[in-house]
Each structure stands twice: as C-alpha cells, then as structure tokens.
Chain A
Amino acid sequence: MTWLEFPTYILLTSVFWLLALVLLLTPKRSVFHSLKGVFLFLGWASIIVFTIGLWISLERPPFRTLAETRLWYAVFISTIGIVLYYRWRLPLMLAYTLLMAILFLFLNYLNPDTFDKTLMPALQSPWFIPHVIVYIIGYAFLGFSSLIGVYGLYLYYKGKEVDRTLLMADNIVYIGFAFLTFGLLFGALWAKEAWGHYWTWDPKETWAFLTWLSYLLYIHFRIRKKQSPKTALWIIALAFVVLLICWFGINYLPSAQSSVHVYSS
C-alpha cells in the first residue's frame, strides 16, 4: 500500500465517519442511531488498514515526514474520540475528533509526500518509535484539552457555568502532559545515545519544552480552587498555539534553520 491508494481510503473513512455523525443526530432509540457504531468502526478500520499497509510497503515505520505524522495524528485523535465517546458519552467531542481527523487526512491528500524510504542513520534506533508515539499521543490529548478550553471560553462569554468543562480539561491535560513528558525524556535519553548529549536546545527541542512549560503553567494555575476560570481557559487555549508552532510552525522560524528534527517534505 502506498500514498497512491491514499485517496480511496480517506474517501472511505470520511464517508463512513460523516455518516456516523449524521446518525448520531437521529433519535437515541432509533435503529439508525445504533447503526452509527458500525460506521464509526468501518471508518476507523479503513484508516488503520492503510496505515499498516503503508508501514509494510515503506519497510520502515511511517514516522518520518510531516504527512506521516499527520496520518498518525488522525489515527490517534479519532481513536481517542471514539473511546471517550463510549466511555463518557461525549458526542461533541466525538464530532470534534472525527472532523479533526478528516481535516488532517484531507491535508495529506492536498500535500502528499514524496516517497521517502530512507531514514538517516541516527534515526535508526529502538528509541525512535516510542519517542514519536508518545509525542503524538501527548499532542492528541493536549490539542483536545485546548479545544475544550476554547469551548469553555465560548461558554464563559455566554455567561454559562464552566467548572465542569475545566475539570474535564484538567484530566485530559494531566494525561497529555504526562505523555509529553515521556516524549521529552525519551528524546533526551535517545539523543544521549545518538549524538552524545541529552539536550542541545535544538529549535524542535526548545519548542517542545515550551509546549511542556505552557501546560505546566496551566496545571499549576489550576491548583488553587478559587482561580479565575477565564484566565485558566485562556492559558490552555494559548498553550495550543505553542503546540502548533512546535509541530508545524518551526520550519518558518528564523531560529530553526538548522534543526535536526524539522520534518522533511
């Protein structure tokens, strides 16, 4: 399986998931409503099949290029959305995660990568896969929590109660933050083996650390119970901007002309 077959699979995935979202709107007890699970699964399965196929055909884990990380982001965020939906019945979050996943797949359709089968020697390490996987899981959770933050801001400015929203964001930040910490520390341990030092203030490292600090700020801001919810919501929304710079914006920063981590495209 290669990127050439990609359009077929994203078409399948998008159609299945959009159908599932439409069925979600039907009355709770109707047959249609219960059918949505089937479509959720079919959409998920088709993207998983593609990902595994790509992995096999590339003969290396597909974690190298920006398009490949976007593919994984789509896989993880939709998985998280579906699991959270069945665990806590969060239809809005399901819709958000599926639409985000579709958006990312669509971005890949517009900007597919060239075939790059090679992996530079320093990246051929047992650390590589765990490092990238924990990062992507971290990003998926943190991005998700920030979206909850944005939703909270919306509620806040409409004069609604945001306590519950913030508590939900808290829990998701904790999980995402822990994964991000793992990503940073695995990165450090690996860098020591590959390059001789665990931390070099490479732009990608710097921005990942900044992302980490932003959410650290949020966690500590939320410790006191009587903090302004507005500030908390703004912190978590802005932290997302830092996360996005770390992920996509780095290539455009003046400080990042020599990063070893900038994704090739």
Chain B
Amino acid sequence: MSLIEFAQVLYDSETGTALRESIYAFPIVEGLHLIGLAFSFGLLMFIDLRLLGVFLRTVPAQDLLYSLRPWLLGGFLITIATGILLFIATATKIILLPVFYIKLALIVLAGINAIVFELKWGRNVDVWGTQSVLPTSIKYAGLVSLVLWSAVIITGRLIPYLNYE
C-alpha cells in the first residue's frame, strides 16, 4: 500500500470522516492540541531555559527536571494523540505538503536530542543537577531542544497557510 493509499484509508475512516463532519469535533481537537503544547513545550521551555542558566538559576536544575517531568510528558501525550487525530482527518491533503515532513523530521531530531540527554545526563542528575552553572554540553542540549521545538511549532503553524495557496 502506498503512502497516498494509506492516507486515503485514514481520510475515509469513520474517525476521519466524523472529525471533518462534526461542527465542534475538529476545533475541540485543535484546542486540546494547543493546551497540550502549553504543558509539553511550555514546561520543557522552562527546563531548557534553566539548563541555559537564564531562568531560576538559583534553583537546582534537578528540582525542575524531576517535578515537571510527569506534567510535560503528559502534555506530549495529549499533543501527540490530538496530532494523530488531526492527521487522520486531513491525511490526503497534508501528505502533499513538504512542510509537514519538515515538521516530522524536526520532531524526530528533537526526540533524539531528548533521548541522548536522558541517557547521558538524565541518569546522574543528582551529580550535576545542584550546580548553578552547568557543563557546556548540558547547556547545548537545552539550546538545541529550545530551537528544535520552536521550529516544530513554526512549521506546524505554517501548515494551513501553505495548504490554501
């Protein structure tokens, strides 16, 4: 099955059709996608800014990392789940947009950055997390996260504008 056929199956599915045909379903999913962003990217932004040393620099980084983790991961779950629903409802149109693939690639890169950070630094946060100025490679991880996730949001917001051209 080709990508176009797969997208057509999703688009024609009960879920896809129901989302498009209901007056309220699509905007509600869009709204939840936005609220999910406030928790996921929003809370991660505070951690990234702390790693960079420009936000709450007197607070140990581990306090933010440990305490915000469940909330921001929950936020990512909401963002991803609603994102999948939005994709299903618009599949045949969205797969024709290069900006959609750029967004996906950026998500993968940001995800890799998060996993590398977790494996390399996340396990021994007790050792470095109490320092006020953090090692340079940790700062870079924060900067990369901030830049990549911002780019994800920018490309995401561009989707409807490039769609109607």
Do A and B originate from a single complex? no
Q: Which residues of B contact A (CB under 8 A)?
A: none
Q: Which residues of A contact B (CB under 8 A)?
A: none
